[in-house]
Amino acid sequence: MSTATDTKRKAPAGEKVADWADGRLGIYSLAKANMRKIFPDHWSFMLGEICLYSFIIIILTGVYLTLFFHPSMNEVVYHGPYEPMQGIRMSEAYASTLDISFDVRGGLLVRQIHHWAALIFLAGMFVHMMRVFFTGAFRKPREINWLFGFLLFVLGMFTGFTGYSLPDDLLSGTGVRFTQGAILAMPVIGTYISMFLFGGEFPGGDFVARFYSIHILLLPGIMLGLLVGHLILVFYHKHTQFAGPGRTNKNVVGMPLLPVYMAKAGGFFFLVFGVIAVIAGIASINPIWAIGPYRPDQVSTGAQPDWYMGFAEGLIRVMPGWEINLWGHTLVLGVLIPLTLFGVILGAIAVYPFIESWVTGDKREHHILDRPRNAPTRTAFGVAWITVYFIGLVGGGNDLWATHFHLSLNAISWFVRIFFFAGPVIAFVVTKRICLGLQRRDKEKVLHGRESGLIKRLPHGEFVEVHEPLAPAQLHTLTAHEQYKPVEIGPLVDENGVKRKVSVVQKLRAKLSKGYYGENNQIAKPTAEEYKEITSGHGHH
Amino acid sequence: MKKLSARRRHPLAAVVVLLLALAATGGLYAAFAPASKAQADETAQSLAIDEGKKLYSVGCASCHGTGGQGTTDGPQLVGVGSAAVDFQVGTGRMPAQQPGAQVPKKKVIYTQAEIDQLAAYVASLGAGPIVPTKSQVSPEGADVAKGGDLFRTNCAQCHNFTGEGGALTKGKYAPSLEGVDPKHIYEAMQTGPQSMPSFPDSTMPEQQKKDIIAYIKTVNSSESASPGGLSLGGLGPVSEGLFGWIFGLGALIAVAIWVAAHTAKAKKS
């Protein structure tokens, strides 16, 4: 396309620059392919954007913090402006964090933006992940992208944890000690990993510097790569959309990237930055000056990790302190079991897309989102998972629940222990019933229309409420979802009367599939015949 | 005189002289020395003890026994000292309202004068820690930074980094230290009320107690500064997480809904 020099016409400056760039970067073909890329409009599709922007904010503020932070555990005596720390011995890491908070221009604000953005980043990823889960957006072809997102969440947790540990204050030091305890609880390799990670006995003089390179280089580097991959896949797969008139599995209805989404997304970035900056301006976070420097002989009550690790904290807090002593070795089940559960529970949501596609046998591509009610078993599983997660969080904050609601700490621990098992079951059953109820209501609405609130008296004295029929677009939206048939194993004997071999796995799959789509597990959506039959009558039954 | 000298050899004369002498010395003694001292005692100490005893019989004896010997409902008070009484009654913890995991702080129902009388009575039952003087609890001459270090070593594990309080087992708790009279903090350290261990002068000298009181005043009182903005209760990551979810993510979702609701229109209508 670089023809500006060949023609007689004098090209404007902008075109010249664009031509120059195209000759070297090939931007024309890139732009042609992507400029008019269509994105559907829905507020819940912007949750991922919140994560992306808070991640960018974290990187920007983090770079500023690295200019002043000293990742060193050398002991210094504080002689800075903060009076209640005068003459206290502390690590250089802690002293430099005090300096960032009190001496560096804008340091405290940037620190607080960094930390608030981190909490919001993780919370945003959690909600974004749940949005994707409940609408079934993880189905083919997006399973890999689901895993990318999941990895981003887990890596975000650990990046957050290492960052939170850097100031070497009493709260984070307690958290690092907690982690070291968890590492030691791993059989056989635990002590080796601990010695390697801390360069000897805890706390040693190395972990801040090591966590620093993990926090600012290793983990964010991997996350950045995953993030780019995540976005490329979103472009490649195109965005999913909710069912509606004119929307099919083969198109995307919405607005083009340029100019609409570019403007919207750019504006939204500044809105996100603005909201986070305002929060950082009005609310204190991690006031390390009030917490004090880390000393292994000191500890405070109410020592919790940031919220995204609270679930792990809760599992350990409520676990009975079981241990087994064998041949001079101790197996600390009280820590090992929660640690394993932590991985298992997180892993359960990660592998769910694969389990669902195996159970349902559905290997087709899906670009139309499900309404959560139309996938009752999935929705119920998701709510059960959130319930477990939330119960863990309650356990992690058990002391604050106790003091603020005037309850017994022990009673809360028992509540968490019982509801860790009972909670998800109750949540599963209740959610499924609610979903089925909503499906019935949808069916009722399609067949009988909307209750108008108008009461009519018939000539023979009967009172009826007038139902208004739905608009065709609404009818489409309520009936667009597909309904599956449960997987059948087929007859157990073949045509010759010989017993067929049916594996246990097949039987399990058939059973699960029945749980998803069998009778009483979904409400048959109204058929066109049913609709016609009813609407041809009086329309008020 | 004649009569007297005539009977000076009477067999009972010596007895009469002796009686007169005894009456004179006894009368003089009664009139002067011991009488004045006894009078002073009556007006201050013993009067306070007497008044305290009366208050005690009405308000405390049902649980602590008529002589402070303790019952199944309340501990013995012999040797707890005036500091313990001043703390327990002065913060409204005593008299207790109902049995429970822990006796909570509540409205103080006695005047300071009555509390002093009660304290005098209980102190008279046996020696114990005494109420500190004003200079003992004033933050003057205290080292706040050292107090912070001492607080984190000795107090934070129950009362939190800055004295916001925390949970103990089975419904017991370490109360918040916000707005607590320095005198009461001092007395609590001296006497170790309820679940709290005591820190007598032998393990924690007076100066260190002063440092701790000064630290609490600096970080957790109406005059303490929060350089980062709202302190969110000073409870750490749990309240920060809640705030981040509700106000941070909540606001962002609200903004997202607003942005999504104002979409570009294909044609201006």
Predicted pLDDT of residue A428: 96
Q: Domain extents for chain B?
A: 42-125, 134-219
Distance CA A175, CA A167 (A): 12
Q: Residue A198 is encoded by which pair of tokens?
A: 């801390």
Chain B from 59 to 118: CB within 8 A of any A CB: 101
If you count them, how many residues does chain A have?
541
Question: Is ipTM strictly over 0.85?
Answer: yes
Number of residues written out for chain B: 269
pLDDT of A2 > 70? The answer is no
A379/A251: higher pLDDT: A379
Query: DSSP letter at B205?
Result: -
Per DSSP, the residues of A5-45 read TTSSSPPPHHHHHHHHHHHHH-HHHHHHHHTT-EE---GGG
Mean pLDDT to the nearest integer, A8-31: 86
List Cα–Cα distances, A372 to A127, A130, A136, A140, B87, in angstroms: 15, 11, 8, 17, 59
Q: What pLDDT shows up at residue A450? A: 86
Phi, psi of A463 (to 5 degrees): -100, 135
- Average confidence (pLDDT) over A466-490: 86
At CA B195, angle to CA B191 and CA B200, rounded to 5?
25
User: What's the rounded mean pLDDT across residues A464-479?
Assistant: 88
Tokens encoding B6: 């005539």
Inter-chain contact A409–B168, Cβ cutoff 8 Å? yes
| A316 and B CB contact within 8 Å | no
**Residue B74, CB half-sphere, CA atoms under 13 Å: how many?**
22
- Pairing mode, if any, of strands A368-369 and A241-242? parallel
Q: What is the pLDDT of residue A192?
A: 95
> Any CB–CB contact under 8 A between B259 and chain A?
yes
Residues of chain B in contact with residue A400, where contact means CB-CB under 8 angstroms, are 167, 235, 238-239
CB < 8 Å from A in window 184-203 of B: none
Distance of CA B107 to the CA centre of its chain: 14
Sign of CA dihedral B36, B39, B43, B49: positive
pLDDT at site A508: 87
Question: With b meaning 16 or more CB within 10 Å and e meaning fewer, what string describes A426-458?
Answer: ebbeebbebbbebbeebbebbbbbeeeeeeeee
Among A119, A301, A411, whose Cβ lies nearest the Cβ of B241?
Answer: A119
**Sign of the CA dihedral with B13 first, then B14, B16, and B17 last:** positive
Chain A residues 324-353 with CB within 8 Å of chain B: none
* CB-based contact, B227 to chain A, within 8 Å: yes
Q: pLDDT (tens digit, 9 = 90+) per residue, A428-437? A: 999 999 999 9
- Cis bond before residue A40 (omega within 30° of 0): no
Q: Do B134-219 and B42-125 fall under one CATH topology?
A: yes
Evaluate if residue B78 carries a pLDDT over 50: yes
Residue A135, domain member (yes or no): yes
Per-residue pLDDT, B261: 86
The predicted structure's pLDDT at residue A397? 92
Which is more confident, A220 or B102? A220
Q: Taking all residues of chain A, what is their mean pLDDT, rounded to a whole number?
A: 91
Q: Is the pLDDT of residue B38 over 60?
A: no
Rounding to the nearest 10 degrees, give the CA dihedral for residues A212, A218, A219, A221.
Answer: 130
Please, which pLDDT band fits residue B151 given cuts at 50, 70 and 90?
A: very high
* Shortest Cα distance, chain A CAs vs residue B111, angstroms: 29
Cβ atoms within 10 Å of B156's Cβ, excluding its own? 25
Lowest average pLDDT, out of A94-103, A326-335, B23-32, goes to: B23-32
Restricting to A residues 364-423, those with a Cβ less than 8 Å away from any Cβ of B are 396-400, 402-403, 406-411
A302 CB near a chain B CB, below 8 Å?
yes
- Largest Cα separation within chain B, whole Å, is 149
Provide the number of structural domains found in chain A.
Answer: 1
Predicted local confidence at residue B101, as pLDDT? 86
Phi, psi of A455 (to 5 degrees): -105, 130
Angle at CA A186, nearest 5°, toward A184 and A190? 50
Q: What phi and psi values does residue A464 have, to the nearest 5 degrees?
A: -135, 150
Determine, yes or no, domain membership for A237.
yes
Mutation for testing the B interface, residue in A284, A301, A407, A409 having most B CBs under 10 Å: A301
Asked if A302 lies within 8 A of B145 by C-beta distance, the reply is: no
- Look at B54 and A160; give whichever has higher pLDDT: A160
Residues of A in contact with B174 (CB under 8 A): 301
Least confident of A328-337, A376-385, A527-536, B76-85: A527-536
How far apart CA B227 and CA B71 sit, in angstroms, is 50
For residue A149, the model assigns a pLDDT of 96
pLDDT in tens, A288-315: 999 999 999 999 988 999 999 999 999 9
Q: Which helix (H) or strand (E) holds A175?
A: helix A170-184
- Of residues A155 and A27, the one with the higher pLDDT is A155
Compare all CA atoms of chain B with the CA of A123 and give the residue at the minimum distance: B245
CB–CB of A299 and B144 under 8 A? no
Confidence of residue A1 (pLDDT cuts 50, 70, 90): very low
Residues of B in Cβ contact (< 8 Å) with A264: 259, 263
- Residues within 8 A of A (CB atoms), B 14-33 only: none
Cα A273 from Cα A348, distance rounded (Å): 33
* A390 part of a folded domain: no
Which of 420-439 (A) contact B at CB < 8 A? none
Query: What is the secondary structure of A376-439 as a DSSP string?
Result: HHHHHHHHHHHHHHHHHHHHHTHHHHHHHTT--HHHHHHHHHHHHHHHHHHHHHHHHHHHHHHH
Inter-chain touch B238–A406, beta carbons under 8 Å: no
Choosing among 1.10.760.10, 3.40.50.1950, 1.10.1240.10, 1.10.520.20, the CATH entry for B42-125 is 1.10.760.10
Q: Is the pLDDT of residue B173 over 60?
A: yes
- Closest of B61, B64, B60 to residue B73, by C-alpha: B64
Average pLDDT over residues B123-134: 87
For residue A268, list chain B residues with Cβ-Cβ distance below 8 A: 255-256, 259
Q: How confident is the model at residue A448 (pLDDT cuts 50, 70, 90)?
A: confident
The predicted pLDDT at position A517 comes to 87
Strand partners, A255: A39
Task: Identify the residue with better confidence: A521 or A185.
Answer: A185
- The range of the structural domain enclosing residue A293 comes to 37-303
Q: Is B153 on the interface with A (CB under 8 A)?
A: yes
Q: Which residues contact A204 (CB under 8 A, 6 or more apart)?
A: A73, A198
- The CATH class given to the B134-219 domain equals mainly alpha
For residue B44, the distance in angstroms to the closest alpha carbon of chain A comes to 43
| C-alpha distances out from residue A121 to A53, A156, A528, Å | 8, 8, 46
Please say if the pLDDT value at position B268 is more than 70.
no
Q: Which of B228, B248, B263 sits opposite A123 (nearest CB)?
A: B248
Place B130 in a pLDDT band, splitting at 50, 70 and 90.
confident
Burial of residue A201 (CB within 10 Å: 0-12, 13-18, 19+) is exposed
Q: Tell me if A170 is assigned to some domain.
A: yes
Confidence category of residue B266, pLDDT binned at 50, 70, 90: low
Residue B222: both structure tokens together: 């109406």
Question: In sequence order, what DSSP letters do the residues of A325-352 get, joined into one string?
Answer: EETTEEE-HHHHHHHHHHHHHHHHHHHH
Does the distance separating the beta carbons of B152 and A292 come in below 8 Å?
yes
Q: Is A269 or A255 the better-scoring residue by pLDDT?
A: A269
Distance from CA of B198 to the nearest CA of A (A): 18
Question: Which comes out higher in pLDDT, residue A489 or A209?
Answer: A209
Closest-CA residue of chain A to B101: A408
Q: Is the pLDDT of residue B197 over 90?
A: yes
Backbone angles phi, psi at B167, to 5 degrees: -90, 145
Measured between beta carbons, which residues in chain A are less than 8 angstroms from residue B235?
302, 400
Query: Cα separation of A394 and A315, whole Å?
Result: 10
**Residue B30, pLDDT score:** 79
> How distant is the alpha carbon of residue A330 from its chain centre?
36
- Quote the CA–CA distance of B167 and B163 in Å, as a whole number: 12
Residue numbers in B near A269 (CB within 8 A)? none
> What is the interface size between A and B, counted as CB pairs within 8 Å?
212
Across the interface, do B259 and A406 touch by the CB < 8 Å criterion?
no
Q: Quote the minimal CA–CA distance from A245 to chain B in Å.
A: 17
Q: Which of A39-48, A219-228, A527-536, B17-26 has the lowest mean pLDDT?
A: A527-536
Predicted pLDDT of residue A541: 47
> No. of H helices and E strands in chain A?
20, 10
- Do A293 and A171 contact (CB within 8 A), yes or no? no
Q: Which residue of B lies nearest to A309 if distances are taken between CA atoms?
A: B237
How far apart (Å, rounded) are the C-alpha atoms in residues A101 and A119? 19
Count of Cβ atoms closer than 10 Å to residue A226 Cβ: 17
Q: A151 by DSSP, 3-state: which?
A: helix
- Write down the pTM of the prediction: 0.88
Specify the DSSP element, H or E, that contains A182: helix A170-184
Chain B contact present for A291, CB below 8 A: yes
Quick check: B240 and A306 CB within 8 A? yes
d(CA A12, CA A17): 9
Q: CB atoms < 10 A from the CB of A118, how many?
A: 25
Contacts of A490 (CB under 8 A, 6+ apart): A500
- Tell me: pLDDT of A182 over 90: yes
A316 near A335, Cβ under 8 Å?
yes
Question: How do strand B173-174 and strand B166-167 relate by DSSP bridges?
Answer: antiparallel
Cα-based torsion angle of the residue sequence A384, A385, A390, A396 in order, rounded to the nearest 10 degrees = 130
**With a CB-CB cutoff of 8 Å, which residues 255-274 of chain A face chain B?**
255, 260, 264, 267-268, 271-272
Q: Is residue A291 part of a domain?
A: yes
CA dist list (Å): B81 to A331, B127, B203: 49, 6, 18
Task: Determine which helix (DSSP H) or strand (DSSP E) holds B209, and give its type and residue range.
Answer: helix B206-219
Quick one: pLDDT at residue B48? 83
* Contact yes or no for A127 and B169 at CB 8 A: no
With a CB cutoff of 8 Å and minimum separation 6, the contacts of A267 are B259
Q: How far apart are the first and last CA of chain A?
A: 67
Q: What is the pLDDT of residues A131-147, one digit of tens each?
A: 999 999 999 899 999 99
B269: pLDDT confidence band, cut at 50, 70 and 90? very low
Residue A344 located in a structural domain: no
Question: Among A50, A310, A408, whose Cβ lies nearest the Cβ of B101?
Answer: A408
Phi-psi region of A453 (alpha: psi -120 to 50; beta: other; left: phi over 0): left
Alpha-carbon gap: A428 to the closest alpha carbon of chain B (Å): 24
Asked whether residue A150 is assigned to any structural domain, the reply reads yes
Contact criterion met (CB < 8 Å) for A255 and B243? no
A126, A400, A401: which to substitute to probe chain B, counting the most B Cβ within 10 Å? A400
Q: Give the chain A residue nearest B251 (alpha carbons).
A: A275
Contact flag B148-A86 (C-beta cutoff 8 Å):
no
Tokens of A486: 């449960």
The DSSP bridge partners found for residue A241 are: A368
Of A45, A260, A403, nearest to B165 by CB-CB distance is A403
Rounded distance, CA B223 to CA B225, Å?
Answer: 6
Q: Has residue A3 got a pLDDT over 60?
A: no
Among A43, A281, A302, whose Cβ lies nearest the Cβ of B235? A302
Contacts of B167 in chain A (CB under 8 A): 301, 398-400, 402-403, 409
| Chain A positions in Cβ-Cβ contact with residue B251 (cut-off 8 Å) | 275, 279
Residue to mutate among B102, B151, B249, with most A CBs inside 10 A, is: B249
Q: How far is B67 from chain A (nearest CA, A)?
A: 34
Residue A131 sits in a domain whose CATH number is: 1.20.810.10
* Residue A396 falls inside a structural domain: no
Angle between helices A143-165 and A219-237 (to 10 degrees): 160
CA distances for A249 relative to A48, A253, A291, A377, angstroms: 22, 11, 55, 23
